[in-house]
Amino acid sequence: MIPSPYLLYLGHSRDPLGVKTSRGVAEFRREDCLGEFRHDDCPLTLGLPRLGMEEAAAGGARTLILGIAGAGGQVGTDLIDDAATALKAGLNVASGLHERLRDQPRLAELANARGLSLFDVRDPPAGLTVGKGYPRPGRRLLTVGTDCSVGKMYATLALTRGLRERGVAADFRATGQTGILIAGEGIAVDAVVADFISGAIERLAPARDDDGWDLIEGQGSLFHPSFAGVSLGLLHGAQPEALVLCHEPGRAHMRGIPGRPLPDLVDCLERNLEAARLNSPEVRAVGICLNTSAMDPETAPRFCAVVEAQMELPCTDPVRFGADSVIDHLLCFEPSASSTIASR
Amino acid sequence: MIPSPYLLYLGHSRDPLGVKTSRGVAEFRREDCLGEFRHDDCPLTLGLPRLGMEEAAAGGARTLILGIAGAGGQVGTDLIDDAATALKAGLNVASGLHERLRDQPRLAELANARGLSLFDVRDPPAGLTVGKGYPRPGRRLLTVGTDCSVGKMYATLALTRGLRERGVAADFRATGQTGILIAGEGIAVDAVVADFISGAIERLAPARDDDGWDLIEGQGSLFHPSFAGVSLGLLHGAQPEALVLCHEPGRAHMRGIPGRPLPDLVDCLERNLEAARLNSPEVRAVGICLNTSAMDPETAPRFCAVVEAQMELPCTDPVRFGADSVIDHLLCFEPSASSTIASR
């Protein structure tokens, strides 16, 4: 486990989506966060005290969380310099980037010399195999999206919490670095060997027979030219009984691809259902989760109502309005005949 | 480059599909193959002289090609024992399995002690990045399939040769271990980090402006529960102008998944076209390539004719009957307006 309290890194970031890992940890592990580290040119904040590395260490912080990410997860020289400063101040360093901290000789030497640890949370577990798609018992929900970074993890966490509040056994299954840092476990599906995408998810959410739910965090989008392969393998490995479609209204283009429009909600949901039927013939959509954080308080609920009418499914912003309507719809269905058979 | 002549490994294999790498090298690099190595319980042959390791080395062989593969590419103890024997006999060893020869301490030590090399052809190149899907100039054809191991590589090689015979510039772009061993270069797309599937193919078949074709070897199937993610990322990265659908009639179930039927040809082609349109709005299907090797000489051409009528596309077995009909259809189209714009 990664020792807390944490110092959350924002660095030089100017893009709110680029700091989503630090933001997620700040929101869902608030009690474990001592402060945030940012340079003077960073206009973003998580609402935590701004601390230097030495200052944070003196205040009791144990680990710097490098919670920033560009597409592809490269490690820049700024990041390495700052990670080195953190180690010199006595902090462990954790990262969810594709490039591994341990592969940076300067960081590896510093950590070794000072008895500190480097945590690369994107490391896949050993011994992954290909997925098989055989029917397996258990109830599983997957969040899918029109794009990357539209709120799939938030929705999944909100649904998990909502189910637990109703006394239903429910587990969040993390598939990305932020989710793993929040949950303390999971598999970063975009970092596994391509052959093992669906197999990794079959391992992450194996057969269960307690009538509880696995709520699996989706990644990317079937419509994203960078990541659709990951999204499809994840969809097949999840073998979901239920899908929740996630979307951020008003986004100008697909994340990282200027000029590329987002898909239509109806098309996106239909394509996901069609692809899911390969392993889950009875899959159904149970709701739409929007990230309305950019909308004013009057517009957001009206927009949800419009989408709800258009899609004929409950629609909410789970962060703003809770996830009850989606959970109601999820629980009003009994398991389908085929999943009951599969679970015997 | 991997030193030839080669000794091709069949080991204890009893499954013709499991030795497809050795078979492919035997067919397309015949002049570089000295013999085959198989144990007494192996009923398969490539039609090459059966040789022991010492015997092959004495005869001039330079490298043992471990051309067998199970799904997921695990290295068994039999394989390691035989590879060790080869090294002791003075042969280099090449492998396309996921598990790397160099990670087997016994093999690494033997190779090092004897000044021999271990070639892991599935190693991805360094510095891969995410794909972007931006329109890029060049003419690209991709083979797609109803299943794994249905003849996509053979079809791609036959189409490449056919185009060259007509004086058209054409390059085979290998995406699997067999293709890489045949071509001497390529990227094993199923072995890259999942985030980089489409990016790897954008790198493998970059922009070209000589009016020549890149013929990209497909992998897996959108309908295979183990590998669909790889197939989709490959399809998006290829950004193909033309698709050729490959199929082996009569297969009882999807490769490695007993009980799972193959998709219908029409559905399979339509789903591939739909997915390809994300990056190639004008993509078109130009033919069907069947592997009819299990059919008798009367049935095979009749079956091709039936599929041709059903699909309204040229249909051939490229190994048995050549690929001319598909190439005719491919070349009868001028580049679409949009690809002409993209290539300026």
Contacts of A124 in chain B (CB under 8 A): none
Do the Cβ atoms of B195 and A228 come within 8 Å?
Answer: no
Dist CA A301 CA B322 (whole Å): 62
- Reading phi first (left if > 0) and then psi (alpha if -120 to 50, else beta), residue A186 is in left
Query: Helix axis angle, B20-28 relative to B152-165, nearest 10°?
Result: 10
Do the Cβ atoms of A190 and B195 come within 8 Å?
Answer: yes
Give strand pairing partners of B245: B144, B288
In CATH terms, the fold of domain A6-120 is Rossmann fold (3.40.50)
Question: Environment class of residue A281 by beta-carbon count within 10 Å: exposed (0-12), middle (13-18) or buried (19+)?
Answer: exposed
Grouping H, G, I as helix, E, B as strand and the rest as coil, residue B115 is: coil
Do the Cβ atoms of B198 and A279 come within 8 Å?
Answer: no
Do the Cβ atoms of B133 and A226 come within 8 Å?
Answer: yes
What residue spans define the domains of chain B?
6-120, 139-342
The answer to whether the beta carbons of residues A173 and A239 sit under 8 Å apart is no
Would you call A164 an interface residue with chain B, using a CB distance cutoff of 8 Å?
no
Q: Report the percentage of chain B scoring pLDDT > 70.
A: 95
Confidence at residue B67, expressed as pLDDT on a 0 to 100 scale:
92
Dist CA B202 CA B214 (whole Å): 11
Closest partner residue to A131 among B131, B225, B278, by Cβ? Answer: B225
Do the Cβ atoms of A133 and B229 come within 8 Å?
Answer: no
Whose structure tokens read 């008003």? Answer: A250
Give strand pairing partners of B140: B214
- Chain B: nearest CA to A290, how far in angstroms? 23
Question: Environment class of residue B340 by beta-carbon count within 10 Å: exposed (0-12), middle (13-18) or buried (19+)?
Answer: exposed
Which letter does DSSP use for residue A217 in this model?
P
**pLDDT tens-digit profile, chain A (344 residues):** 899 999 999 999 988 888 989 999 999 999 999 999 999 999 999 999 999 999 999 999 999 999 997 644 556 788 999 999 999 999 999 998 878 999 999 999 999 999 999 999 999 999 999 999 999 999 999 999 999 999 999 999 999 999 999 999 999 999 999 999 999 899 999 999 999 999 999 999 999 999 999 999 999 999 999 999 999 999 999 999 999 999 999 999 999 999 999 999 999 999 999 999 999 999 999 999 999 999 999 999 999 999 999 999 999 999 999 999 999 999 997 654 444 434 33
Confidence of residue B321 (pLDDT cuts 50, 70, 90): very high
Confidence at residue B36, expressed as pLDDT on a 0 to 100 scale:
98
What global pTM score does this model have? 0.90
Residue of B nearest to A239 (CA): B225
Report pLDDT digits (tens) over B124-151.
Answer: 999 999 999 999 999 999 999 999 999 9
Which ipTM was obtained for this model? Answer: 0.89
Task: Give residues 72 to 91 of A whose Cβ lies within 8 Å of B.
Answer: 72-74
Give strand pairing partners of B92: B63
Report pLDDT digits (tens) over B256-291.
Answer: 999 999 999 999 999 999 999 999 999 999 999 999
Would you call A184 an interface residue with chain B, using a CB distance cutoff of 8 Å?
no
- Chain B: nearest CA to A247, how far in angstroms? 19
Q: Is the dihedral of CA B152, B156, B159, B161 positive or negative?
A: negative
Q: How far is CA A270 from the centre of its chain?
A: 22
Residue of A nearest to B234 (CA): A229
Confidence of residue B17 (pLDDT cuts 50, 70, 90): confident
Q: What is the CATH number of domain A139-342?
A: 3.40.50.300
- Cis peptide, bond prior to residue A43, ω within 30 of zero: no
Would you call A132 an interface residue with chain B, using a CB distance cutoff of 8 Å?
yes
Do the Cβ atoms of A72 and B195 come within 8 Å?
Answer: yes
Residue of B nearest to A99 (CA): B127
Residue B336 pLDDT more than 60?
no
- Cis peptide, bond prior to residue A5, ω within 30 of zero: yes
- Say whether B139-342 and B6-120 share the same fold: yes
